[in-house]
Amino acid sequence: MMSAAVHWLRSEPLGIVRSAILAASQSEWLRVHAPRYRFVRRTADRFMPGEKLEDAIGAARKLGDHNIGSVFSALGENVTDPAEAEKESHYYVEVLAQLRAAGMPLEVSVKLTHLGLDLNPDLCYRNLKRIVDAAAGGLVWIDMEQSAYVDRTLALFHRVHAESPHVGICLQAYLYRTAKDMESLITAGAAIRLVKGAYQEAKEVAYPKKRDVDQNFFELTKRLLSDGALHRGVRGAIGTHDIELIRRTNEFASEHGVPKDGYEFQMLYGIQREEQIRLARNRYRMIVLICYGTHWYPWFMRRMAERPANTWFALKNIVAG
């Protein structure tokens, strides 16, 4: 009976398990209670090196030994208090100072709802701009959250990008609108990280089938690596662990004369480690996003939903005690 359950968890595609996990990621009760369980914490350890910046820097040094770069992200989202949003932005300024002192890459990734997007766009702008100013010489990546935030996120990106080049943005291939959004970002010569998309979205706004998301991802990748985008100074980051998409990307680049340093791959800490090392060894630009912090529950649940077989990993941790 156990093996049938395992088989189901491993084979289940984008359906019920994924929806259930994503729904649980929004539960306030679970956000408070789940991290208290040791098996949950042990499962989360797979995706983050620890809760402190020092843990993230330690992980980045190890990745650096393999010529893999790092981007740092302090976990948190949907803050409800303006003072907290401002405090988070000052924290990121401090993070950048510590990264500078440690000789680390000056790249961080932020969520705008962590900086007050739910509260007031001007407050969020000030908080983001503070971090971008502190990242001179580096880059602040803006994560993309649920589809309801996309317009506001793009508007804030363009506002800050008009004042400073040290800001980049994430786009999600599962959204129908992304091809159009990408054009305005290419015109601006932006740094763009393309990902598939991690949230629960309605079929009116996002491709429900994984096959269509993957196909759109590849079409968007081709545009990111096109002459038109590269001539505008676009920095194209292909954010995926999908080995087949990575292979097709490299094949396309090679056929179209895009040099290996004309684009980069980004992955999450702890996922496809061997592929990360293999790409770096073959002189592709490989960067790992290292997330850390105490507010990891919703982010961790999205990692679980990406691969329902991870649920099996969590179950094994219960058994291991």
Cα end-to-end span (Å), the chain: 21
- The correct pick among 21, 56, 139, 144 for binding ligand FDA (CB under 6 A) is 144
Q: How far is the CB of 168 from ligand FDA (least distance, A)?
A: 11
Least separation, in Å, of the C-beta of 197 and ligand FDA? 4
Alpha-carbon span 156 to 162, nearest angstrom? 10
Spatial separation of the C-alpha atoms in residues 223 and 10, rounded to whole Å: 33
**CA atoms of 3 and 16, how far apart (whole Å):** 19
For 180-222, the DSSP string reads HHHHHHHHTT-EEEEE---S---TTTB--SHHHHHHHHHHHHH
The interface region with ligand FDA, picked from 3-11, 84-92, 196-204, 254-262 by CB under 6 A, is: 196-204
Binding window for ligand FDA (CB under 6 A); candidates: 11-19, 120-128, 193-201, 291-299 = 193-201
Query: Binding of ligand FDA at residue 246 (CB under 6 A)?
Result: no
Instruction: Say which residues have a Cβ less than 8 Å from residue 172's Cβ, sequence separation at least 6.
Output: 144, 178, 195, 196, 197, 198, 206
For residues 13 and 228, which CB has a smaller minimum distance to ligand FDA in the complex?
A: 13
For position 186 contacting ligand FDA by CB under 6 A, the verdict is no
Q: Is 241 in the site for ligand FDA (CB under 6 A)?
A: yes
248 touches ligand FDA (CB under 6 A) = no
8, β-bridge pairs? none
Find all residues with CB under 8 Å of 89, minimum gap 6, and list them: 115, 126, 127, 128, 130, 131
Please say if 133 is a catalytic residue.
no
Can you tell me which of 196, 235, 285, 295 binds ligand FDA, judged by CB under 6 A? Answer: 196
Cβ(29)–Cβ(247) under 8 Å?
Answer: no
* 236 sits in which H/E element: strand 235-239
The only residue of 88, 143, 201, 264 in contact with ligand FDA, by rule CB under 6 A: 143
Q: How is residue 236 written in tokens?
A: 């194209």
Report how many residues bind ligand FDA under the rule CB under 6 A.
23
Parallel, antiparallel or unpaired: strands 264-268 and 167-172: unpaired
Query: Does the footprint of ligand FDA cover residue 115 (CB under 6 A)?
Result: no
Partners of 140 in the β-ladder: 108, 167
113 makes contact with ligand FDA (CB under 6 A): no
Q: Which is nearer to ligand FDA, 48 or 289 (CB)?
A: 289
C-alpha 320: how far from chain center: 30
Strand pairing report for 235-239 and 191-195: parallel
* Active-site hit among 18, 181, 193, 214: 193
Is 227 labeled as catalytic in the residue annotation?
no
Nearer to ligand FDA, 213 or 258 (CB): 213
* Cβ neighbours of 77 (radius 10 Å): 17
Task: Name which of 100 and 241 has its Cβ closer to ligand FDA.
Answer: 241
Q: Is 12 in the site for ligand FDA (CB under 6 A)?
A: no
Q: Give the residue with the Cβ less far from ligand FDA, 170 or 185.
A: 170
Cβ proximity to ligand FDA, 92 vs 199, nearer residue: 199
Stretch that binds ligand FDA, among 26-34, 78-86, 99-107, 191-199 (CB under 6 A): 191-199
Binding site for ligand FDA (CB under 6 A): 143-144, 170, 172, 195-199, 239-242, 266-268, 271-272, 289, 303, 306-307, 310
Active site residues: 143, 193
